[in-house]
Structure 1
Amino acid sequence: MNSNSEASKSNAERLIDELDKGVGYGSVPAAIFGNDDLYKEELNKVFGRCWVFLAHDSEIPAPGDYVVRKIGEDDFIVVRDEDGKINVMLDACRHRGVQVCRSTSGNTSHFRCPYHGWTYNTKGALVGAPLWKNALEGTAKEDNGLAHAPRVELLHGLIYASLDASAPPLREYLGGMAWYLDLLFGLNEHGVEVLGPPQRFVFDADWKSGSENFAGDDYHLGTLHRSVFEIGSFPVSFAENMKGYHIQASPGHSLSFSMANSVDEPGPKFLGFPEALAASFNTARISAEQLEVARRARVFVGNVFPNCAILALPVTEDGSKHAPTAALTVRLFQPKGPGKVEFWNWFFGYKNMTPEQKERAYTAGLGTFSLSGVFEMDDTEPWTTISRSGNSVAIDKLGFKLNYKMGTPGIGIAEPVRENWPGPGEVYRTRYEEGVQRNMYRFYADMMKAAPGEWPSFEMDAGRSTALRKDADAKAPSAAEALEK
């Protein structure tokens, strides 16, 4: 490309080019966090196209039940109509674009615009307006309904939507990540339900910081969350917790398991769920291999690109009074402007849990992973400074790059697992590596560079970034070799 073409590129395009060229080798431009120009492109090319988590169907169990959620910065009504179908509709009247839903949740038979009174049913159809004969006779009502998200699908009751009609089916988009979501949400035939409305709070950070953290940043646990181990909020030592695997399940989607080497090792099993509940976990909806992985698992933490984080682990808000129990959370890092994010946090339980088990799980989760929880108070401080640095003049002038090299050839002790792992994806032992973050940013760069209607491959063995991965794997030292170095 000639120098004139390079000079004509926007700041956002140059940043994505830098990321695209360097991420396979662990080099990430710091300016991708909090950059104003890049943020506008993300709303269009990431949130305007990818599958985005909105709600769980247990939040809207009855006809007329609705919640208002976001895709990017846009409000959408998620409502169950009188036929039981779930509709996802832009919260904007067809007449003047006025917001028609004025509550974040509730039950209704219709939505009425406060400006001119245009009224829509729960299917989004325009059913009337004041003085119709005088003002609007001859208008085709069927052409003036609320705008629907073109793609809506459910997975274990999790409601996802995409604004891109060309988006692949949800399971294809998830690729290997679907295997792990099936494992967690399908442990028994009863399924899961929300234990309360989502918590929400806003803080100054870039949405990508939260997403990459939940893709599998375990390295920070021994420093930022050291107090959690010291006060007994988590029942495993830091060293034991780092045993396990990082998994690039499919392009963009990554997760991390803290896991015992065998079911005979001491410590929590089945992510810390009570033994009486774990007795109901079975292979009615999952495979024997998935059940075995869950049996050995201590922590499940993952991110469905772009911004849907999922976590299951044993915790307690007060170790002197309560033994740890499993908390299962789904959380969103909702973009709310450059360098600003709204955190949404749901707690889930399996439907066949007793009321006491649900209360204990909810309370333990609130004391650890919530606005007042120790983990959130720890995490939000460094995330705030990351976006502050990313949007600084000095970062831009210096071309400052961040180090995401852990687990690349010769760096660290992580080694690829070639055999004896039953699930999909590229798997690494131990949890000291950053391939899961590199996987997220490779896909992010692909989405930011993709033309309208074009999609990156969802297979781990396809695409230009695979060459970098295979090259890295071929040269990667064993754990013993790395330790010798």
Structure 2
Amino acid sequence: MIGQPTGEKQILEVLQEAQRSLNEDGKLLAKVYNEPSIFDLEVKKIFSKTWVFLAHESEIPWSGDYVLRRIVDDSFIVTRDEDGEIHALFNMCRHRGMQLCRSDAGNSSHFRCPYHGYTYQNTGKLNGVPFQKEAYGPEGLDKDEWAMTTAPRMEIYEGMIFASLNPEVQPLEEYIGDMGWYLDFYLKKSPAGMEVIGPPQRWVMPADWKLAAENFIGDGYHTQSTHMSTIKAGIMRVKSPAYLKEGVQILAGMHGCLFMGFKPGSYLNYPQSIVDSMLENLDSDQVELLKEESIMPLNATVFPNTSFLHSSMSIEEGGKSVPYVTLRVWQPMGPGKIEIWSWCLVEKDASDEFKKASNRSYLSTFGASGTLEQDDAENWSGQTRVAGGEMSGQHYLNYSAGATHVEPIPDGEWAGPGTAYPKNYVDFAQRHFWQTYFDHLLAGEENGHAGS
């Protein structure tokens, strides 16, 4: 049994043993679900090193628009300036470190510090210093030196604004890598692009961020049990609770997703205009999966904590299901605690009628009051609570599904990049998530895992 780790050296030893057990035996140490000392290392080795999603361009469509976002405890003002350029500015006055902006969203050309009155443009440039000559002499203050600090790196991928605290991080497109081909199904169904409907829903949950990210990377196995009540109520219009048994699980770089099937020719009941746009805008291999195989990605995770879900739910009794896409961030607030940020994504050029129906479909199942969201919350919070126990955290958990009898789809038989497995009731994507997790935490340490 592994006791309570004290000090970074012992924490790393615990993680190395946990990594070995996962790679060799398909067993994961429960302690990693909820351990304060491990969380501190996650902030240092993962959230300070990788790309993290901040906002969608459609949230700040006009000059002067801004939203507040964060990477763990680092707060950013994401702005669009008067020239249309986007900035990710640390939400901190350079004089005494006071928080500059408190409103979650708004429109402003400037931000004024409430402490001493320093004023900054929405580009980050320092504009005004009260009593500058009296405080700093005839030459005043070097305003260029004392401008707001920007995120070390910020890049945009298909309307999604990412930032990194690591100035040496690889380019975003390279970081996303093969996963970009699969993200097209969520983000490139229309040449007009996607937009969010309203501000994100936000709520706090006593759960670990990794449990949500792991679930969304490829856990189709839980639906037949966790979501049974929603299926019986007719909200999920599926033939059987085991509707996700057949499908494809994908490992793509550090990321992954799960494909589901749909009734041939139905395209999840998208309006014909969107179907036509989808078939025209996606590449020939992607279209083949839609037309010939009748499958598309259901859920996906971009490491570390950004996930997508693409589904279709009924919003009227006896009515046809309506498709929707939700984008969400599992925002860590500390060990065993997350704030979920959740958006509904729709095609910019879709009809207002479809946008409203799609948002309704999303809200009925996901979001703070969604039926499926409540099911998942019970699981993740329960796992986190149990793993925090002194003895419970020392148990090993089973992540071996598929390891002994399921082989990847041979090269040339799957249209997309990465590694594809022809079943959904397997743990390949989940193991892949944890292997990537250990790779980051143990980077530079002896015995660090290389590969998946």
Deviations 1:213-237 (A, max 9, x none): 0001111000010122222222222
What is the deviation of 1:203?
1.1
* 1:166 counterpart = 2:168: yes
> Residue type matched to 1:417 in 2?
I
* 1:423 counterpart = 2:422: no
How many residues are aligned here?
439
Q: Contact 2:221–2:244 (CA<8 Å) still a contact in 1?
A: no
Partner of 1:405: 400
**Matches of 2:317 and 2:432 in 1, distance apart?**
36
**Matches of 2:358 and 2:7 in 1, distance apart?**
54
> Residue type matched to 2:303 in 1?
F
Partner of 1:185: 187
What is the deviation of 1:269?
3.6
Q: Contact 1:317–1:365 (CA<8 Å) still a contact in 2?
A: no
**Matches of 2:237 and 2:353 in 1, distance apart?**
21
What is the deviation of 1:30?
0.2
Q: Contact 1:312–1:327 (CA<8 Å) still a contact in 2?
A: yes
**Matches of 2:125 and 2:242 in 1, distance apart?**
57
Deviations 1:416-466 (A, max 9, x none): 1113211111100110111101111111111111249xxx9xxxxxx7334
What is the deviation of 1:267?
5.5
**Matches of 2:173 and 2:337 in 1, distance apart?**
30
Q: Contact 1:271–1:297 (CA<8 Å) still a contact in 2?
A: no
Q: For residue 302 of structure 1, give the secondary structure of its aligned residue in structure 2.
A: strand
Matches within 5 A, 1:112-261: 112-137=112-137, 138-237=140-239, 238-251=241-254, 253-259=255-261
What is the deviation of 1:208?
0.4
What is the deviation of 1:44?
1.5
389, 392, 416: which one pairs with 2:389? 392
Q: For residue 381 of structure 2, give the secondary structure of its aligned residue in structure 1.
A: helix
Q: For residue 281 of structure 1, give the secondary structure of its aligned residue in structure 2.
A: helix
* 1:325 counterpart = 2:318: no
Partner of 1:33: 33
What is the deviation of 1:146?
1.2
What is the deviation of 1:142?
0.5
Partner of 1:439: 432
Q: For residue 152 of structure 1, give the secondary structure of its aligned residue in structure 2.
A: strand
Q: For residue 96 of structure 1, give the secondary structure of its aligned residue in structure 2.
A: coil
Question: In percent, how many aligned pairs have the same letter?
Answer: 37
What is the deviation of 1:73?
2.2
TM (norm. structure 2) is 0.93
Deviations 1:71-130 (A, max 9, x none): 122211110111111100111111111100110000001111100111110111111121
273, 278, 285: which one pairs with 2:270? 273
**Matches of 1:384 and 1:240 in 2, distance apart?**
25
* 1:363 counterpart = 2:360: yes
What is the deviation of 1:242?
2.5
Deviations 1:4-49 (A, max 9, x none): xx99754431332123212223111100011011111111211111
> Residue type matched to 2:352 in 1?
P
Matches within 5 A, 1:433-472: 433-451=426-444, 464-466=450-452
**Matches of 1:342 and 1:8 in 2, distance apart?**
28
* 1:95 counterpart = 2:91: no
> Residue type matched to 2:191 in 1?
E
**Matches of 1:239 and 1:139 in 2, distance apart?**
67
Deviations 1:123-147 (A, max 9, x none): 1111112111111344211111111
What is the deviation of 1:268?
6.8
Q: For residue 334 of structure 2, give the secondary structure of its aligned residue in structure 1.
A: coil
* 1:354 counterpart = 2:354: no
**Matches of 1:441 and 1:169 in 2, distance apart?**
23
> Residue type matched to 2:97 in 1?
G
**Matches of 2:315 and 2:399 in 1, distance apart?**
33
State the Cα RMSD in Å.
1.9
> Residue type matched to 2:72 in 1?
G
Q: Contact 1:236–1:267 (CA<8 Å) still a contact in 2?
A: no
Change in CA separation of 1:268 and 1:376 when aligned onto 2, cut-off 3 Å? farther
Q: Which runs of 5+ in 1 are unaligned?
A: 1-5, 261-265, 457-462, 467-485
**Matches of 1:271 and 1:434 in 2, distance apart?**
26
Q: For residue 242 of structure 2, give the secondary structure of its aligned residue in structure 1.
A: helix
TM (norm. structure 1) is 0.87
> Residue type matched to 1:18 in 2?
E
Q: Which runs of 5+ in 2 are unaligned?
A: none
Matches within 5 A, 1:338-353: 338-353=335-350
What is the deviation of 1:169?
0.6
**Matches of 2:248 and 2:399 in 1, distance apart?**
18
> Residue type matched to 1:384 in 2?
S
Partner of 1:478: none
Moved more, 100-109 or 290-299: 290-299
